[in-house]
Amino acid sequence: MTNVKVLRGQEPLYEVIYQILKRNILSDELPEGLVLIEGPIAKMMLTSRAPVQAALRKLNDEGLIHRFRGRGYLVGDAANDPEPVRRNIEEFQLDISDQSKSALELRGTWMRVYDQVEDDVAACQVFGEFRLIETELADFLGVSRTVARDVLSRLNERGLIRKGASSHWLAGPLTARILREKYELRAIMEPAALKLAADHIDPAEITVIRNDISQGHTRESSIYEDAFQQHCLDRAPNDALVEMIRNNRLLLSSVNKALVRLGLPGDVVAVDQYRVLFDLIGSRQITAACEYLKEHLRLLADKNLARLKIVALVTEAEAIPRYLTPL
């Protein structure tokens, strides 16, 4: 029988990540009790969170890591009840084979172009429905069709594009109904996550954010929205819920950036609302913070619906790249 060697670059990406983590756990490079969280691992491995989630589930099934009360996994057997060690995985000198490095670099190429495509796709949706053509995307980015396909798959995974009846990739349109439904989802999920995260929020971090707002360092509400996600919602010990929140907010955040680029003013009132929200969280009034968050999101929905109507009067931007074809 012919011995066929499977190239590392042809393995599923989650398998590559699994093997890297397993090797470093067994060698004790990743110590017992270390908290493993998807986001930092995905960043280090140049990938999205989905393959990292699959790799961690496999390690958990084998008993090399385990769930605990906080967010993520702990390295080691649950029976040993190790104390959580919270360090960034990038601080460790991981043993990664040349084959694995090549696989990660090959599969991670899409990340170097993804952010720009994400912004373009989100921005176009305020003008209607568009088709994305894989070959034209590859040509526009100067990458292979494989990389273009990875970008499209990631956009689909995050809910920014979809497959139409004829299997074409489609984006938009962003309608008033879709916008309101996304804010309704935010009002359901984000207060729930905030309650779950309450015991895991660092008061010192909240103090820094509150001081930053009070000193008027920036009047960009998106800065504090991101801070609320990172320092509050991301601390909820429910990875699935956190990922749902991030994906639901993605289109809203990207569209908001696009509207500002089109000349619409930023929402300075929202900055003051975030100040109140962080004050409540910092003083441990979590129930009140959850109720205030719901009202804040209701007001945001109304304001952004009004902004969407203004954009309807704007001529379609000439800067929309050619790989996006209006329908």
pLDDT digits (tens, 9 = 90+) for 95-120: 888 888 877 776 666 777 887 888 88
With residue 326 as reference, give the H or E element that holds it: strand 324-326
Is the preceding peptide bond at 84 cis, omega within 30 degrees of 0? Answer: no
Measure the CA–CA gap between 200 and 197, rounded to whole angstroms: 5
CA dist list (Å): 140 to 106, 144, 153, 168, 285: 19, 10, 17, 18, 50
Domains and CATH numbers, the chain: 8-107 (1.10.10.10), 111-174+314-326 (1.10.10.10), 176-311 (1.20.120.530)
- Phi-psi label, residue 70: left if phi above 0, alpha if psi -120 to 50, beta otherwise: beta
Amino acid (one-letter) located at 19: Q
The predicted-structure confidence for 159-183, as pLDDT tens digits, reads as follows 889 998 888 999 988 888 999 999 9
| Range of lowest pLDDT (74-83, 139-148, 226-235, 315-324) | 315-324
pLDDT of residue 230: 87
**For the purposes of burial, counting CB atoms within 10 Å of the CB of 312, is it exposed (0-12), middle (13-18) or buried (19 or more)?**
exposed
pLDDT of residue 65: 94
Measure the CA–CA gap between 37 and 72, rounded to whole angstroms: 5
Nearest to 63 by CA among 48, 78, 47: 78
Strands 73-75 and 35-36: antiparallel
Contact between residue 159 and residue 250 where contact means Cβ atoms under 8 Å apart: yes
Q: Cα Rg for the chain, rounded, in angstroms?
A: 22
pLDDT exceeds cutoff 90 at 126? no
With residue 163 as reference, give the H or E element that holds it: strand 162-163
Contact between residue 91 and residue 229 where contact means Cβ atoms under 8 Å apart: no
What separation, in Å, do the N-terminal and C-terminal C-alpha atoms of the chain show?
Answer: 53
Percentage, residues of the chain above pLDDT 90: 33
Question: Taking residues 60-71, what's their average pLDDT?
Answer: 87
Q: What is the mean pLDDT of the chain?
A: 84
Total H helices, total E strands in the chain: 13, 7
pLDDT of residue 22: 94
Angle between helices 286-311 and 176-197 in degrees, nearest 10? 160
Q: pLDDT band at residue 130, thresholds of 50, 70 and 90?
A: very high
Q: pLDDT band at residue 53, thresholds of 50, 70 and 90?
A: confident
Phi, psi of 87 (to 5 degrees): -135, 150
The predicted-structure confidence for 263-322, as pLDDT tens digits, reads as follows 666 666 788 899 999 999 999 999 999 999 999 999 989 988 887 777 665 555 556 788
pLDDT of residue 132: 93
Find residue 325's DSSP bridge partners: 131
Pick 76 or 3 by higher pLDDT. Answer: 76
pLDDT exceeds cutoff 50 at 151? yes
